[in-house]
Amino acid sequence: MEENQRDAAAAGSEAGEEALVGNVNKLMVTPPGYTGVPRKGHLIFDACFESGNLGRVDYISEFEFDLFIRPDTCNPRFRVWFNFTLENVRETQRVIFNIVNFSKTKSLYRDGMSPVVKSTSRPKWQRLPAKNVYYYRCPDHRRNYVMSFAFCFDREDDVYQFAYCYPYTYSRLQHYLDSLERKNLDYVQRELLGLSVQQRRLDLLTITNPALLSSEKEKRLVFLTARVHPGESPASFVCQGVIDFLVSQHPAAKVLRDHVIFKIVPMLNPDGVYLGNYRCSLMGFDLNRHWQEPSPWAHPTLHAVKQLIVQMSRERNVSLEFYIDVHAHSTMMNGFMYGNVFEEEERVQRQAVFPRLLCQNAPDFSFSSTSFNRDVVKAGTGRRFLGGLLDDTSYCYTLEVSFYSYMTAGSSTPVPYTEDTYMKLGRNVARTFLDYYKLNHLVDDSKPSSHMSSLDALPPARQGKRNVKNQDGEKVERRIHSIRGDF
């Protein structure tokens, strides 16, 4: 997410509070002074694995433990992501875990969010029941906000894993990209754009009809990045959803590949993801504040992406039309976007077109939560920096998706996101490009073709508000017709 000044100040005042540097490593927690042999029920905590994060465990009683998040590497201000395993449990053992050192105060835990859990015999992640989760200001912990959750273990041989949200690791991405590569699709290219400080891959995918790359025609380009903030794992599911759709045999995907070049960097901060950080790189930088002057040694992945974008923006015949950076939001619901503000009203309206169209396609995307700003603190973000660099026919957005849930039209009950619904948002983002280009008559939709009917076959968005949305869409269309000369 894009952090505001108040969050930053609040986090800063707590800097140095915790001197935790490493993850717990197969730590068996026994009652103080206990010298006997280890027993079943003496919990063993571990976070020494990819994307793991747990810095300290305090024994309160047989039934209660205080847990401390390990701050981001080289930056104690950020403590949000956690991800650890537990074993050596006793059947029917009931325990309360208190996570006591979050660096944020506002949280979706107040609205029903809960940690995710899985175990060796039940490997699919699930959210804990919200009724077992409490979020409150605690007098015992310097009035810090504490999230407590109760859990009852049921299988002695299982290893249980708890996390802030569904993990999506660097290795998972590598496996996904490897399997994509093995398909040998001529319209997908995977390149090594650079290496991180710890020598992890910075992957770049190019998805397009190869004929388009070699042609002399003007090339329309869409650039997408994700995981600049490593703890924002939902961004990876959204990004994978975009890729899955674009490489698919769906007729809409084929039309898009024939007309548009998609460049995707699925993991902009691979070290941060690997290390289980929430917001920073290995060296403690929030990379989304360094777009103005990334250093090749301190921010090598950002430097490489920026160089590529700048170079492409200067190429003849290349028109970089969209830059979208995918994030996850810890206090808002739904998917929504941030965009830039402009002096000219007409440009403002044009910028609102894509989010409006996405709102029609994705039941979880909210146009009313979408906002446009020029905060000084966000000047170093990709959206703001590239918004200034690229010309006025380019659109730069941050796409945010809630860590927790969305509300569909006409309902007041939040629907918690799953890995699948995050990916579905990504698929809807991808197909919205076709709507956008059709609306602008850059893709021919005059002849009745099979892709129209199959698009219609996709689940309709926001059924309850269909009429309203249709009106909305017509408004957009009228506006576009009146300003088409600018495209």
**Residues facing residue 160 across a β-bridge:** 86, 119
For Zn ion, give the closer residue by CB, 266 or 438. 266
Which of 472, 237, 444 shows the shortest CA–CA distance to 358? 472
Structure tokens at 90: 């006793």
Catalytic, out of 2, 87, 400, 419: 400
Query: Least distance to Zn ion from the beta carbon of 390, Å?
Result: 21
How many angstroms separate the CA atoms of 468 and 476, rounded?
12
- Shortest gap between Cβ of 280 and Zn ion (angstroms)? 11
Q: Which residue has the tokens 């009724």?
A: 131
Alpha helices in 247-326 (DSSP H): 251-259, 270-275, 300-314
- Least distance in angstroms from the C-beta of 369 to Zn ion: 15
Q: At its nearest, how many Å lie between Zn ion and the CB of residue 286?
A: 9
Nearer to Zn ion, 268 or 480 (CB): 268
Helix (H) / strand (E) element for 246: namely helix 234-246
The separation between CA 76 and the C-alpha centre of its own chain, rounded to angstroms, equals 22
Nearer to Zn ion by Cβ, of 54 and 280: the residue is: 280
Edge to edge, the sheet with strand 133-137 lists 56-61, 64-68, 94-99, 145-152, 133-137
Distance between CA atoms of residues 160 and 87, nearest Å: 6
Which among 162, 246, 155, 163 is positioned nearest to 208, based on CA atoms? Answer: 246
CB of 380 to Zn ion, least distance (A): 13
Q: Which is nearer to Zn ion, 230 or 355 (CB)?
A: 230
- Classify residue 235 as left (phi > 0), alpha (psi -120 to 50) or beta: alpha
**Closer CB to Zn ion, 1 or 252, in the complex:** 1
| CB 485 to Zn ion: min, Å | 36
Rg of the chain in Å (alpha carbons): 23
Closer to Zn ion at the Cβ: 325 or 435?
A: 325
Rounded Cα gap, residues 417 and 391, in angstroms: 36
- Cβ 115 to Zn ion, closest distance in Å? 19
Residue 46 gets which letter from DSSP?
A: E
Q: How far is CA 416 from CA 35, 404, 420, in A?
A: 44, 6, 11
CA-to-CA separations, 47 to 21, 265, 276, in angstroms, rounded: 12, 27, 9
CA pair distance 157, 254, nearest whole angstrom:
48
**Burial class for 158, CB neighbours closer than 10 Å (0-12, 13-18, 19+):** middle
Identify which of 287, 114, 78 has the alpha carbon closest to the alpha carbon of residue 197. 287
Contacts to Zn ion by CB under 5 A: 1, 229, 232, 327
Please identify, using beta-carbon distances, which residue of 304 and 328 lies nearer to Zn ion: 328
Task: Work out how close the CB of 182 gets to Zn ion at its nearest, in angstroms, rounded to a whole number.
Answer: 31
Residue 419 annotated among the catalytic residues of the structure: no
Q: Is 229 or 383 the residue whose CB approaches Zn ion more closely?
A: 229
Residues catalogued as catalytic:
400
